[in-house]
Amino acid sequence: MKKILITIILFVISSTSFAIPLGLQDYSLLSTRGNTSITNGSGVSGNIGSSNTLTIDSTATIYGDVFYGNLLDNTTTIQSPYTANQNADSNYWNSLYEDISAASSTAGSMTADLSNSFSNITENTVLNGTGSTEPSVFNISGNIDLGNGDTLTLSGSASDQFIINVDDGATFGLASSIVLDGGVTANHILFNIKNGDLEGLGGTKLFGTFLLPSGNLNLSGGANLIGSVLTGGAGTDNISSGSMINMSISPGTSGIPYTGPTANTILPELISEPSPLFMILLGLIGLSVIIRMRKTIYYL
Helix axes 90-108, 276-299, angle to 10 degrees: 130
- Give burial (CB, 10 Å; 0-12/13-18/19+) of 19: exposed
**In the predicted model, what is the mean pLDDT of residues 205-224?**
97
Confidence at residue 286, expressed as pLDDT on a 0 to 100 scale:
52
Q: What is the count of structural domains for the chain?
A: 1
**In the predicted model, what is the mean pLDDT of residues 184-206?**
96
Confidence at residue 21, expressed as pLDDT on a 0 to 100 scale:
59
Is there a contact between 30 and 13 (Cβ–Cβ < 8 Å)? no
Which of 224, 216, 222, 153 minimizes the C-alpha distance to 189?
153
- Give burial (CB, 10 Å; 0-12/13-18/19+) of 130: middle
Q: Considering only 111-115, 145-149, 188-192, 198-202, which range has the smallest mean pLDDT?
A: 111-115
In the predicted model, is pLDDT for residue 294 greater than 60? no
The number of residues making up the chain comes to 300
In the predicted model, is pLDDT for residue 116 greater than 60? yes
Which helix (H) or strand (E) element contains residue 281? helix 276-299
Question: Residue 260 — pLDDT band, cuts 50, 70, 90?
Answer: confident
Which percentage of the chain shows pLDDT scores above 90?
68
Provide the 3-class DSSP secondary structure of residue 178. Answer: strand
Comparison of pLDDT for 98 and 11, the residue scoring more: 98
Q: Tell me the β-bridge partners of 221.
A: none
User: Within a domain: residue 165?
Assistant: yes
Question: Residue 259 — pLDDT band, cuts 50, 70, 90?
Answer: confident
Question: Residue 189 — pLDDT band, cuts 50, 70, 90?
Answer: very high
Confidence at residue 250, expressed as pLDDT on a 0 to 100 scale:
66
Q: Specify the DSSP class assigned to residue 121.
A: B
Confidence at residue 109, expressed as pLDDT on a 0 to 100 scale:
95
- Tell me the residue range of the domain where 68 lies: 23-281
What are the backbone angles phi and psi of residue 51, rounded to the nearest 5°? -70, -20
In the predicted model, is pLDDT for residue 295 greater than 50? no
* Predicted structure pTM score: 0.84
Confidence at residue 108, expressed as pLDDT on a 0 to 100 scale:
96
Which percentage of the chain shows pLDDT scores above 70?
81
In the predicted model, is pLDDT for residue 256 greater than 90? no
In the predicted model, is pLDDT for residue 130 greater than 70? yes
Cβ neighbours, 10 Å, residue 134: 9
In the predicted model, is pLDDT for residue 300 greater than 70? no
Is there a contact between 172 and 202 (Cβ–Cβ < 8 Å)? no
User: Within a domain: residue 150?
Assistant: yes
How far apart CA 208 and CA 191 sit, in angstroms, is 7
Mean model confidence pLDDT for the chain: 86
Confidence at residue 283, expressed as pLDDT on a 0 to 100 scale:
53
Which helix (H) or strand (E) element contains residue 119? none
User: Within a domain: residue 107?
Assistant: yes
User: Within a domain: residue 193?
Assistant: yes
How far apart CA 191 and CA 209 sit, in angstroms, is 6
**In the predicted model, what is the mean pLDDT of residues 129-154?**
95
In the predicted model, is pLDDT for residue 27 greater than 60? yes
How far apart CA 267 and CA 224 sit, in angstroms, is 21
User: Within a domain: residue 5?
Assistant: no
How far apart CA 81 and CA 56 sit, in angstroms, is 17
Question: Residue 252 — pLDDT band, cuts 50, 70, 90?
Answer: low
Beta strands in 39-132 (DSSP E): 43-45, 47-50, 53-56, 61-63, 66-68, 71-72, 84-86, 117-118, 125-128
Confidence at residue 133, expressed as pLDDT on a 0 to 100 scale:
82
**In the predicted model, what is the mean pLDDT of residues 104-128?**
95
User: Within a domain: residue 4?
Assistant: no
